Amino acid sequence: MIRRTLAVGSVALTGVALVVGAVSNAAGAEGNGVALALVALGAVLGVAILAGAAYLYRSDVATAHTARIAGWNLLGVALLGVILALARAAPGVSIPAYVVVDVLGVSSVAHLLIGYNDVRRIRAEELARQRRTLAVVNRLTRHNLRNRTQILTGHAVALAEELDDPAHRRAAETIRDTARDLAEMDGELETIQTALNGDSPDRSVGLSAIVEDVLGPYRESHPDGTFQADVPDGFTVYGDEQLRTAVEHLVENAVEHGGSDRPYVRVAAETDGDSAEIRVSDRGPGVPDDEVAVLDGDREISQLEHGSGLGLWVAKTVAERHGGDLTIENGDRGATVSLSVRAA
């Protein structure tokens, strides 16, 4: 905190010095419109630097980066200050004090911008390095997860076939089903990784066909359920295969947590300007408040509050890649998960 305060304080001190210098030289510029304008410019530059210092102190820029920006500011002031001092000391050279204030102010602002862009460049390099590391860890994790679950599934299947005791057989089948669920996480992790690294899609797709394609298998597997699609024909959005994956996860989540053997799922869509909203509704108990808070970023993930699966996270990541977001509304008759994307 002390280091940050000192760094920002040096920037603020520059602003104060410029304002004081401009005000103190105002009397010498009376009667000269150009000179008064230059005096006012010096004061404005000083106030702008003070505002920049206040913003820098409250921003999320790391302290080390804050010190770097302050260093650029001091470099600009020192270099121009030395040059101006030497120029004014030369015989026959007369530079008004308010001009010195303006030159130093312009140099300070310019070097603050240089420092800020330098910090952004460094941060971008750090994020790129972290992303590469995350990609490697993700590939290794998925590879090991896939191999281990295949081994676990094979042994569980063989064990279930050999066991005579019904309770033991059910336990083996539970292990098998759990291993298969873990194996499905490989695809979900791949989708998240691809969405994090990919650009927003720029081709239009028909949403009605995607929704009908997703709902079709559920209508066959749950003949007593209700699967309603309220998507107008010709409704198009910008998307790709990941958009279909996101809709699949939302529908699957609605079926699994619908609170009934006869699930009710409604998929609707409408446009609002340049945005399109895909809403998946069910009549279940709703998404737990803790999970909603984690998804919204209002609460950190912990061992007790981490959500029940990756489905909603996949949908949220895909929505953000598509230039939108994911929101959840819990009502008296169920939950509605809305996925916003760019309308085509």
Residues 6 or more apart in contact with residue 267 via CB below 8 angstroms: 211, 214, 215, 228, 229, 230, 231, 247, 251, 278, 279, 280, 281
Q: Cβ of 173: how many Cβ atoms within 10 Å?
A: 15
- The CA-atom distances, in angstroms, between 86 and each of 22, 81, 82, 91 are 21, 9, 6, 10
Which of 54-58, 145-149, 184-188, 310-314 comes out lowest in average pLDDT? 184-188
Look at residue 6 and tell me whether its pLDDT is greater than 60: yes
Look at residue 33 and tell me whether its pLDDT is greater than 60: yes
The pLDDT score that the predictor gives to residue 309 is 60
How much is the mean pLDDT over the chain?
85
Residue 77 contacts residue 14 (beta carbons within 8 Å) = yes
180 DSSP β-pair partners: none
The pLDDT score that the predictor gives to residue 198 is 66
Question: What element of type H or E holds 317?
Answer: helix 311-321
The pLDDT score that the predictor gives to residue 337 is 93
Using CB atoms within 10 A of its CB, is residue 237 exposed (0-12), middle (13-18) or buried (19+)? buried
Per domain, the residue ranges of the chain are: 1-197, 204-342
- Band of the pLDDT at 306, cuts 50, 70, 90? very low
- Band of the pLDDT at 304, cuts 50, 70, 90? very low
**Considering all CA atoms of the chain, what is the largest pairwise distance in Å, rounded to the nearest integer?**
108
Look at residue 134 and tell me whether its pLDDT is greater than 90: no
Its CATH architecture, for the domain 204-342, is 2-Layer Sandwich (3.30)
Report which DSSP code applies to 274: T
Residue 281 contacts residue 268 (beta carbons within 8 Å) = yes
- Mean pLDDT, residues 327-336: 88
Look at residue 303 and tell me whether its pLDDT is greater than 50: no
The pLDDT score that the predictor gives to residue 192 is 73
Reported as a single tens digit per residue, the pLDDT across 174-222 is 888 888 888 777 777 777 777 666 667 778 899 999 999 999 999 999 9
What CA–CA distance (Å, rounded) separates 253 from 275? 24
Percent residues over pLDDT 70 in the chain: 92
Residue type, 340: S
- Name the more confident of 227 and 99: 227
3-state secondary structure (DSSP) of residue 301: coil
Using CB atoms within 10 A of its CB, is residue 262 exposed (0-12), middle (13-18) or buried (19+)? exposed
Look at residue 299 and tell me whether its pLDDT is greater than 70: no
Which of 54-63, 105-114, 117-126, 299-308 comes out lowest in average pLDDT? 299-308
- Mean pLDDT, residues 140-144: 77
